[in-house]
Amino acid sequence: MNSFIELAGKLDWSPLWISLKTGVVATIISFFLGLWAARKVIKKDYRAKSILDGLLTLPMVLPPTVAGFFLLLIFSRRRAFGIFLDKTFDIQVVHTWLGCIIAATVIAFPLMYRNARAAFEQIDANLVYAGRTLGMSEISIFWRIVVPTAGPGIASGTILTFARAMGEYGATSMLAGNIPGKTGTVSQRIAMVIQDGDYVTAGFWVIIVLLIAFFAVFLINLITGRHMKNIRKW
C-alpha cells in the first residue's frame, strides 16, 4: 500500500490525461457521426443498408492492428493523402495526438453507430409521422423525439464508445506511437512497463483504469436514469 502511495507521488500522470482527452474527443466525434450514419442507414433500402452497415461495422470486427495498417497507409507522410494534409493544412497525423484521436475514433465509432441504429429501429414510426403531421421540422423531430426516445440505447452506445476509445491500443500504437507526454496513453504505458517487468506500476494503472471505467458507466446510467421512467420492466 505504502509503495503505491509513494509511486503516485513521483508518477508521470501524462498517460491518464492523454487517454482521457482522447476518449472524450473520440466519443464526441463518434457520437455525432454515429447518430448521423445511423439515421442515414435506416432510411436506405435493404441492399444498400447491408452494404453500408458492413462497411461501417468493419473497424470493430477487424483486428485493431489491421485497422492501424490501413490508417498508416492513408495518413503516412510519404503517401499522397498524408503529403497533401501536411503541405496544404500543415496537419500531421502519424506520431501525433491527432493520430490517437483518429485511431480511437475509427475503432470505437461502430459501437456508437450500431447501438444508435438498433435504438432507432425500435422506435415507433408513428412518433415520427405524428411529428410530421404536427408540422415539426425533420431536425426538430430527430433531436426532440427520436434521440430522447432512443435515449437508453444511445446512452449505452456512448458508454461503450468511451470505454473502447479510452482503452484503444492496437491501432493507436501503430498510427500515433507511444511518445511519452504526447501520444503515450494508459494502455500503451501498461504494456510498456510490463515489458520492463514493473508490475507495481502496471497494477497501479490498471486500478485507475478500472475506477474510471466504472465511474463512467455509473455516471451515464445516472444521467439517463431519469429518462428511463417510461421503460417497462419485464
Residues that bind other proteins (CB under 8 A): 124, 126-127, 129-137, 144-145, 148-149, 151, 227, 229-230
Q: Cα dist. 100→28, 92, 159, 168 in Å?
A: 14, 12, 19, 9
- What is the closest distance, in whole angstroms, from the C-beta atom of residue 46 to other proteins in the complex? 15
What nine digits make up the cell of 121?
Answer: 429501429
- Closest to other proteins by CB, 150 or 163: 150
- What is the closest distance, in whole angstroms, from the C-beta atom of residue 146 to other proteins in the complex? 10
- What is the closest distance, in whole angstroms, from the C-beta atom of residue 150 to other proteins in the complex? 10
- Closest to other proteins by CB, 2 or 133: 133
- What is the closest distance, in whole angstroms, from the C-beta atom of residue 132 to other proteins in the complex? 4
What nine digits make up the cell of 187?
Answer: 494502455
Cβ(101)–Cβ(183) under 8 Å? no
Q: What is the DSSP letter of 226?
A: G
- Closest to other proteins by CB, 65 or 137: 137
Q: Cα dist. 7→2, 162, 208 in Å?
A: 8, 27, 13
- Closest to other proteins by CB, 44 or 227: 227
